[in-house]
Structure 1
């Protein structure tokens, strides 16, 4: 018959702490926000490139003519940080007010979304995170497309 040795109370305590730590780390990894998974620098790069592309793309540039690109880049970066669970608080105007009077069409919105997809691929954002970000942004379509 095999003998079973009992661990000392100290060894059992240390083992329990190690197990708890391992469980905490695996839980923390599983609960990483979209912001954490995409990364602050990459979200900023996505925002900047999206504004640059959209403001120069003939399909979408019409609605960017009277806009401060620098301000939009900054506010979009904060907005993306906020909606992805980052440490930012977006305190800008709501999407409806921002886009009021711009008469953005479905075609313009589609072109911008396509640019966003292309940018995320070029920034090597994994598919899961790309889809999650698009899902977070999708409800704003009703406030952006007004024509």
Structure 2
């Protein structure tokens, strides 16, 4: 908890499928990269995913060969895949793991349906893009500060 967190030492896993909001995702990824945060795209299978505006993103990792503990934060973009129920289950596992270990979570407008509050989860430390013009900056701030530790 007392470890200094520098952006260039942090890695964000981007959980993404097809049909995402290309402009929103490009803006957030650009903001993360401007702050030297490492980004890896994770999905159901290797290859590329395509946004609703035609934006293509190359997938770096697949769910079966990576784990939420390897990332300092996740950015839940969501989207649709060939096997939607398995994709949703894998995303939920990443969300639950990151939340359990007090890691910040960013949620794109297309990923909102994948995260909801429940009895043991008040969504503290979760930053939503919907209605937030400064989402990229707020997400970087959550990643690089200890603000998300206030959940307890």
Instruction: Bin the TM-score by the shorter chain.
Output: under 0.3
What's the TM-score, normalizing by structure 1? 0.26
Higher Rg of the two aligned structures: 1
Q: Relative CO higher for 1 or 2, CA cutoff 8 Å, sep ≥ 6?
A: 1
Q: Which has the higher strand share?
A: 2
What's the TM-score, normalizing by structure 2? 0.26
